[in-house]
Amino acid sequence: MGATALDAKNNDGLLRALRRQPVERTPIWLMRQAGRYLPEYRATRGRAGDFMALCQNPQLALEVTLQPLARFDLDAAILFSDILTVPDAMGLGLYFETGEGPKFRKPVRSRAAIDALPIPDPEADLGYVLDAVRVIRQELDGRVPLIGFSGSPWTLATYMVEGGSSRDFRQIKTLLYNDPEALDALLDKLSEAVVGYLNGQIAAGAQVVQIFDTWGGVLTTDAYRRFSLRHMERIVAGLHPGSDGGQVPVILFTKQGGHWLELIAKSGCQAVGLDWTFDIGRARQLVGDQVALQGNLDPAVLFASTAAVRAEAARVLDGFGPGPGHVFNLGHGIQPGVNPDRVKDLVDAVHNHPRG
């Protein structure tokens, strides 16, 4: 089935599932479905020179976006980009250290630095991303929907204040507790930037958008409400209709956010992404028919055998149960070193599973 994906026309199963409409088979896409586990991706990145050069070249972004669809019978394409394009466009000097991940040359750690940050113009400052959306949507030609995305304001702020990845979030939590008004100001700017950025993607052709709140789960409940969820609600409320005039479905994904599921479901989003630590059947009981659910296989299962992949996929699907409103995904992104054959096993297992 894998190579037939790019030949199929008008697969709108993802859109229907996100709207909780009936589907013939459970749709599946995977976070980081284009990435280092694919040899063709590694070859393209080698030609690009470095990661940001790859992101900033719309034709190469198109190439890597389509690579997993040529291998696997996936039900969506997701724009190849990075969540840190927005703070990079704010002038923080994004770069990548081998083995250490993203870093910023100019971390933001004072109210003065926050007040000095510009709000990026999507076309002028992030036009390479919007150009990539345009060429990907044109090339897809209705075969599968195109997902755009952004990091959540809180998650973007963690990188901006920490200066890169963090294990303890010491810098941003110090700011949170010492000067919460300054953090509010930073998050307000980021919310405005993300609204503009996602509306730019929607205007360019994105048919679904996902907000990655990767680090929301490190907050207390009160802090999550104030510093993460409130800003995602603002973003959802500020998004424009799609090119067809209809609502563009929004997926909110807070890693380790299952215990706030009922709050997230009331945010205005159409779907809530679950990580692998929360039972999807319990999640469905809690949200009822308010939103669709996305998830939530443990990504590490893809290092196991074909039999294990099939069994765990069935467990997730049976856990959700019959009826509409499920988009199958991992509970986080595919990890480097995964054998692509296991991804094919997973996609085929999901599509072949009886819906009941």
Name the pairing type of β-strands 77-78 and 250-254.
Answer: unpaired
Tell me what the mean pLDDT of segment 85-109 comes to: 90
Please identify which of the residues 16, 19, 25, 36 carries the catalytic annotation.
36
Give the pLDDT confidence score for residue 356 in this predicted structure: 54
Please name the residues in contact with 143: beta carbons below 8 A apart, sequence gap of 6 or more.
Answer: 5, 6, 7, 8, 9, 10, 11, 69
Residue pLDDT, tens place only, 101-140: 899 999 999 999 999 999 999 999 999 999 999 999 999 9
Tell me what the mean pLDDT of segment 251-265 comes to: 97
CA distance 84 to 94: 8
CA distance 94 to 124: 18
Instruction: Judge: domain 2-352, CATH 3.10.129.10.
Output: no
Tell me what the mean pLDDT of segment 288-316 comes to: 97
CA distance 232 to 225: 10
Any catalytic annotation for residue 284?
A: no
Please identify which of the residues 37, 41, 159, 224 carries the catalytic annotation.
159
Any catalytic annotation for residue 82?
A: yes
Supply 305's token pair: 């055998």
CA nearest neighbour of 53 among 38, 64, 40: 64
Any catalytic annotation for residue 197?
A: no
> How big is the chain by its Cα radius of gyration, in Å?
19
Residue pLDDT, tens place only, 20-79: 999 999 999 999 999 999 999 999 999 998 899 999 999 999 999 999 999 999 999 999
Binned at pLDDT 50, 70 and 90, residue 10 comes out as confident
Please identify which of the residues 16, 19, 25, 45 carries the catalytic annotation.
45
User: Where are the domains positioned within the chain?
Assistant: 2-352
Q: Are 216 and 172 in contact (CB under 8 A)?
A: no
CA nearest neighbour of 187 among 160, 149, 157, 229: 157
Residue pLDDT, tens place only, 168-202: 999 999 999 999 999 999 999 999 999 999 999 99
Any catalytic annotation for residue 128?
A: no
Residue pLDDT, tens place only, 318-353: 999 999 999 999 999 999 999 999 999 999 999 999
Any catalytic annotation for residue 32?
A: yes
Give the pLDDT confidence score for residue 243 in this predicted structure: 82
Please identify which of the residues 32, 137, 226, 342 carries the catalytic annotation.
32
Binned at pLDDT 50, 70 and 90, residue 3 comes out as very low
Please identify which of the residues 12, 16, 82, 188 carries the catalytic annotation.
82
Q: Is the pLDDT of residue 233 over 70?
A: yes
Q: What mean pLDDT is reported for the chain?
A: 95
CA distance 29 to 309: 15
CA distance 72 to 87: 33
pTM surpassing 0.85?
Answer: yes
